[in-house]
A and B are shown apart, each in its own frame.
Chain A
């Protein structure tokens, strides 16, 4: 045995789990095939969004929001968090009715964070917005952070508590060895009684090594960023009937995403931007913020992410063997959840249960009982 827990995947989920486990005295090794943050965790849009989450995710997102608000005390860095709110704008009355229904639904669940704002309040919050909008759904304590900085802060804090990262170590086999899991890479093996699968877009491969055949789809959401512009925007802006996320970073650059997907190749682990699709995000941006029309795009990119069939993550113990835990399939909205996901995993591993309602995230919902490779 080399450690108490071995985690596969040095992204935010793996790093957050490592940190929370180390804070409770566990000895942890993180196996990462590339470098920490090389994939989704380092390149995402950094949106801290409770707004418009699936009802099952709301309790987790709310708990995560509390951790982000005081992230400094968790990871000794502010991760460049800016809690300037998120708005989801209505561009017509039909949009507005949808948002009002949503707000009522969230209130009925006992949450107060999503509120309806009228046209006047909206333009006070977002003065440069195109004039046709009629109102919005708004979360005051949402915002954004810088993902690679957050990832690095989690990693450094975890390392300071004794967590070991093995970078450039691709896990290609796992095997039971007595009470332990033996994890095999081309650069040697490690073993531990507990194995955590935080392998992002590669989770399906890991699940099948563990005899739990689930379908995880890969998608590569695309992003673009502009040159620096004079400050004009505080909250993150989305829209009720558009795929768009639009924010101005602290340094003035504007970050535009919109869930349009790039082409990708899993063999080389590379993505290729689909500019025709990306142009839709640009069109939405120009229609909502006409004054950014002449801003130059400095970079476009995409990141590989795991999507589950119902777009909800898997956060649960394994379904057959003991000592297996999963956290994957965040379907392009895992950044905000990452601090709480690590905490949940540490509770599941050490206490055998979590305080948070994670029933909807069980891996069992995807497993065909007869098809599992469980002995």
Chain B
């Protein structure tokens, strides 16, 4: 195998781009890998091709990406698009796939900046054609300008719900309703955290702005919704739900759901990093220190893949990880790192002040997490219902991995990415234990699809493209 690269960064979103620009600027030999064809990550998806009208439509947050991407592209970091990382070892060995060619490369240091995924929540009817993740729909709008032509209902919880409704409204899509599934009692809990959040008040003003614009356009946002169901025979025909004690029904062909974001922990799991339960965000996250270092020496993780903090926080955390990489690789000393880190640390801290407020506002009720109805599918790949998961627990399989072995739940092509969280919640509840105590599905590479033919040609070496 060739000499290892000094630093490999996985992900060219806000966090990865910032880490790369920082490290490369300090003389670190930096390789950035991203499975997407262009830099920008989730938030700035498709920004390279966006014309002025499209930029205007998607709003100021999106526009800010133009500059970020430009400074990354002009840095000396070696950026390889269309490159998926499908394995990562604790020793810094990575399996990558590039234009149908698989190879192993190695790095002295790795920064994981792989971002978040939308929290999958199974509910009755969620597998019907016509039901889709809101984030996925947004990606289609950003990258391919695709929007639903007839009406759409947006449901779930989280800031993205309102943002997408607003972006759709501006794109001329008929938004029939926005259904917020967080319980009403969240409001006063969030209220307690409002004073701290005011110090990152621009987020609040922006959110309120979106809400006002929606109201002016006559788009209904309904709070305190429960019992969401997608109904239809072969595809979605209507959405039913309860609010204020009444059952309601809306005819629609498109339901976009979003239940917040959770860190994508497959890479950190594969590398053997230690994880912990993040109660505020109701998900697992890799343990990190202030520089993003994980429990595994030489592997750091930053951005939404470490904990959901949004794009601005991801940039500052990325800069800090870039500085730490330069220190660890002996391009700068610790004193220099600390000096250069002052502003980013401060900005990061300020920016994160909004989070406790958002987390309590959008905290999901246990009914959505572990109360999945027995006849609802949990694992779409292997067609396993919540009832089958509970039956396995009753038969003595009292942890998610045993449930997986006996039911095949999570053994399909998505490798449990979609059902892993739900199974952990359901198993924990069925065992009467807090979910923080159960061991989630163990991750089994490849983390991205690799064919037998591709693996059979596996090569080892750093001579990428």
Binding site for B on A (CB under 8 A): 35, 37, 42, 148-149, 152, 155-156, 224, 226-227, 251, 256, 268, 270, 272-273, 275-276, 278-279, 282-283, 285-286, 292-301
Contact = CB atoms under 8 A, between A and B. Distances in A.
Given A275-B87, A275-B95, A275-B458, A292 B413 contact: no
B445 A293 contact: no
B453 A286 contact: yes
Nearest to A278: B455
A273 B456 contact: no
A251 B411 CA distance: 12
B125 interface: no
Interface stretch (B237-245, B258-266, B398-406): B398-406
B95 A296 contact: no
B433 interface: no
B453 A293 contact: yes
Of the four ranges (under 10, 10 to 19, 20 to 34, 35 or more), the interface on chain B belongs to 20 to 34
B406 A273 contact: no
A301 B444 contact: yes
18 contacts: A42-B405, A149-B406, A152-B406, A155-B396, A224-B452, A268-B272, A272-B90, A272-B272, A275-B87, A275-B104, A275-B445, A276-B460, A282-B452, A293-B453, A294-B451, A296-B413, A296-B451, A298-B415
B446 interface: yes
Contacts of A42: 405
Nearest to A296: B449
A49 B452 CA distance: 25
A276 B104 contact: yes
| Nearest 3 A/B pairs, CB to CB | A293-B453, A279-B458, A282-B456
Nearest to A256: B452
B455 A275 contact: yes
Given A152-B406, A275-B87, A297-B451, 12 more contacts: A156-B396, A224-B455, A256-B452, A273-B445, A275-B455, A276-B104, A282-B452, A294-B452, A296-B451, A297-B449, A297-B455, A299-B445
A77 to B, nearest CB: 12
B64 to A, nearest CB: 37
B456 A270 contact: no
Interface in B383-413: 395-399, 402, 405-406, 408, 411-413
Interface string B62-99: 00000000000000000000000001011000010000
Interface string B360-396: 0000000000000000000000000000000000011
B328 interface: no
Interface string B19-50: 00000000000000000000000000000000
A190 to B, nearest CB: 20
B456 A286 contact: yes
A35 to B, nearest CB: 6
A283 B458 CA distance: 9
A227 B413 contact: yes
Contacts of B445: 273, 275, 299-300
B449 A283 contact: no
